[in-house]
Every structure is written in C-alpha cells, then in structure tokens.
Amino acid sequence: MQTSNSPFLHIDHVHKTFGETEVLSDIDIGLEEGGFLVLVGPSGCGKSTLLNMIAGFETPTQGDIRLGDRTLTGLHPSQRDIAMVFQSYALYPNMNVADNIGFGMETRGVKKNVRQKKINEVAEMLQIQPLLKRKPSQLSGGQRQRVAMGRALVRDPRLFLFDEPLSNLDARLRVDMRIEIKNMHDTLGTSIVYVTHDQIEAMTLATKIAVLNQGQVLQVGTPEEIYNTPANEFVADFMGSPSMNKAPVALDTDGSAVTIQLADQRLKLHNPSDALHSLAARQESVVLGIRAEDITTTLGQESLDENELPLTVQFVEPTGSDNFISAGDKALSFVSRAKNNVRPSVGDAARLKLDMNRLHFFSPSDGKRVG
C-alpha cells in the first residue's frame, strides 16, 4: 500500500556492483507523482545504470525500486508500465514509422483498427503524420527523435524514461526539442526520469535534480537549491557555466564579525553560518566560491569601495549577449559576467565587486558546504 509520505517513484537504497566494482552506492531518491527528475553527472557516474535498473535491464544488487504501490524489482521491462526514449532513438530499421509506434500494441495483441487510431492520435500530436509511411533511414535526426517520443507516448505509461535523448541533435534542434519535452510534461503531467550530462538541460527541465558522481548521489534538490546552495564543491563546479570561481581564503574573526582576506582586501561576511563562526574562531582556511554573475566588474582602480578587489584583466570572452571577463593573476583569478558593452582590454586595471550575499564556502578537506 502506498502511504501518504512514500513518494511515487522511490529508488530505495539501491546498490549495484559489477564483479568487484561498485558502480552505484546507496542511491536513495524519491520523486512525487507528476515530477520531472533529472539524473545529471559526468560520464561514468552511474546515471545510465540507474536508469537501466528502473527500466528493468539491470537488477539492483541491493535495495528496491518502487513505482506507485508496486515494487519493480523482478518485473520484466514490459510489465513496469514505463516507456523509454533512447539516446540512439532505437527505431526498428525494418519497420516504417507507423509500425514503429504500433509495435508495442501489436505485441500486446491490440486490434488493428484501435492501433491505427492511436498511432494517428500520437502522430497528430507530434505533427509527424506525413512521415508515417517512411522508414527510419529516411528521417532526419529531429524527426527520428519525434518518432521515438511517439513510440513512448502511445503507450500512455505511468513513467517516462529518457536516456540522453538530445545528445545526438545539433545545438539549435536541441533547444527546440528541450522546449517540446517541457511542454509535453506540462500537458500530460506524467512523471519523467531523464538522464543527461548537460547541466543546462537539467536546470531547464527538472522539477528535481539528482547530481551523481562516481556512483554516489551528491545532492538532490530543486534546480534552484542545486544552483544556489550546492552541497559541495563538485556540485558547485558541475552546475552552472562558466564554473564557479573558487579561491582558498583564511577566515578570521574579531569576536562578532567574520572576515576573509582576499587580494589585500579584508572583506566582512554577511550573516556567516555557525560553522563559519567556529572555523573563524580557529582561524582556519576554507574554499570561497562565487559565480560569475555575482561579481560586478568596473574598469579603473582610482577609488576602491568596500568589498571591491583591484585586479588586472587577463582575458575577455565575448559570447554575444555577455562578456566573460577573467581578472587576477596566477595566484587568484575570477571570471565575472558583464554586459556586452563592458569590453576591457587585456592588462586593464579593474575592480571586482563581490555580492557578499552570494558567497559559498566549502571545507578544503572534504569539499562539503560550510556556509
């Protein structure tokens, strides 16, 4: 029985070992009904193995996966009430689009006229009716992607699984399809588990993100939580582009206020955490993190404000809408994001103002967030 506090999809303390190597260790993630869970991490982190276990292609060595009030462990993939979109789309090359979409119904013995009707409904929804008689080899990448989604949609499952579905598309199409997947989720309201290594896909699509690395869940949370309060240095690095700036700093305290030393400037922290207070009392070092958009770069160093660092411009990376300005020296350097009309030259003197409310601190020993 499903109790009120157990989630719709529950990956319950799952372990997976292949021989001696542990590829997933104690994964525990819950997803509410209608949620969009994105598993994100670098290649080899175990995210695809986890998805394969939900689909039923792999069996957990330990732990259980439940969907609704059923445990999935031991069920054949076809009995899990799931549908999956694969990275390579996995369209049956010998069948035309209509047969590809209808193959699942065919194996379940659905009558031909019912099948036809459902195929047409899905084709209309995805605007692929003109393609129904074509073979997969006659379709473009984007069209194949649509057909793969059609094959998943026609099943009307309780859970969709997406395995890096956009990684084979060009950049433009990827953005379009991303929006379409988002719209599909909003319209249907069916729960989705989505695997990607692209942090932008994760941020834009998810209602819940799980960041994985080396077989472990580093953080589970909403995109905002993951971005604004990363649980450790890895998550801070992995999510966001460019990567978060980091610098080792020494903490100090005058009894009430906690301060850090940066580029000969002494900065006073706003609302430091208890952990930072106690670390500061022992004058320990921590790793400071700050995102590019939380630094304001102004040219010239005539008058320095409080919380401003005098640094030299190292290089400028124009992206069109924004310029990413890297300033500092070998020992200390920050990338900041500026409007495209701020365009310093290499070697220019600049002052960088850090948003003191948006600072992150990590323990230098284990990388965990301390404030």
Partner 1 sequence: MSNASTHSSGFNISRLFLYIVLIIFAVYYLLPLYVMLVNSVKPLEEIRGGDMLALPDAFTLTPWAQAWSQAQIGVQATGLKPYFMNSLAMVIPAVLISTLLGALNGYVLTKWRFRGDGIVFGLLLLSCFIPFQIVLIPMARMLGIFGLAGSTSGLVLVHVVYGLGFTTLFFRNYYAAFPSELVRAAQIDGAGFLRIFLRILLPSSGPIIVVTVIWQFTNVWNDFLFGASFADVDSLPMTVALNNLVSSSTGVKEYNVHFAGAILAALPTLVVYVVSGRYFVRGLMAGAVKG
Binding residues (CB under 8 A) for partner 1: these are: 55-57, 76-78, 82-84, 86-88, 90-94, 103-104, 107-108, 151
Q: Which is nearer to partner 1, 152 or 290 (CB)?
A: 152
How far apart, in whole angstroms, are the C-alpha atoms of residue 288 and residue 292?
Answer: 13
Long-range contacts of 301-305 (CB under 8 A, 24+ apart): 301/349, 301/350, 301/351, 304/265, 304/351, 305/351, 305/353
Q: For residue 242, is the peptide bond before it cis, meaning its omega torsion is within 30 degrees of 0?
A: yes
Residue number with CB closer to partner 1 (55 or 359) = 55
| Nearby residues of 344 by Cβ (< 8 Å), 6 or more positions away | 297, 299, 313, 316, 325, 350
Nearer to partner 1, 95 or 125 (CB): 95
Within a 10 A sphere around the Cβ of 203, how many other Cβ atoms?
Answer: 18
Closest CB to partner 1 among 141 and 367?
A: 141
CB 266 within 8 A of CB 245: no
321 CB burial (10 A radius; 0-12, 13-18, 19+): exposed
Q: Cβ closer to partner 1: 161 or 249?
A: 161
Q: Which is nearer to partner 1, 83 or 262 (CB)?
A: 83
Which tokens hold the place of 282? 């022992």
User: Closest separation between CB of residue 108 and partner 1, Å?
Assistant: 6
* Shortest reach from residue 54's CB to partner 1, in Å: 11
Q: Which is nearer to partner 1, 135 or 182 (CB)?
A: 135
Q: DSSP label at 143?
A: H
Q: How far is the CB of 113 from partner 1 (least distance, A)?
A: 20
Q: Which one, 190 or 259, has the nearer CB to partner 1? A: 190
Residues constituting the chain: 371
The beta strand positions in the chain, using DSSP E, are: 9-18, 21-31, 36-40, 62-67, 70-71, 82-85, 159-163, 191-196, 208-213, 216-221, 245-253, 258-262, 265-268, 285-290, 295-299, 308-318, 322-328, 333-339, 349-354, 360-362
CB 224 within 8 A of CB 207: no
Q: Is the dihedral of CA 128, 134, 137, 139 positive or negative?
A: negative
CB of 107 or CB of 256, closer to partner 1: 107
For the CB of residue 110, give the shortest distance to partner 1 in the complex, in Å: 11
CA 128 to chain centre: 29
**Distance separating alpha carbons of residues 302 and 118, to the nearest angstrom:** 71
Q: Which is nearer to partner 1, 88 or 283 (CB)?
A: 88
Looking at residue 89, its amino acid is Y
How far is 326 from 337, CA to CA, in rounded Å? 9
Give me the helix-helix angle, 141-153 and 171-188, nearest 10°: 20
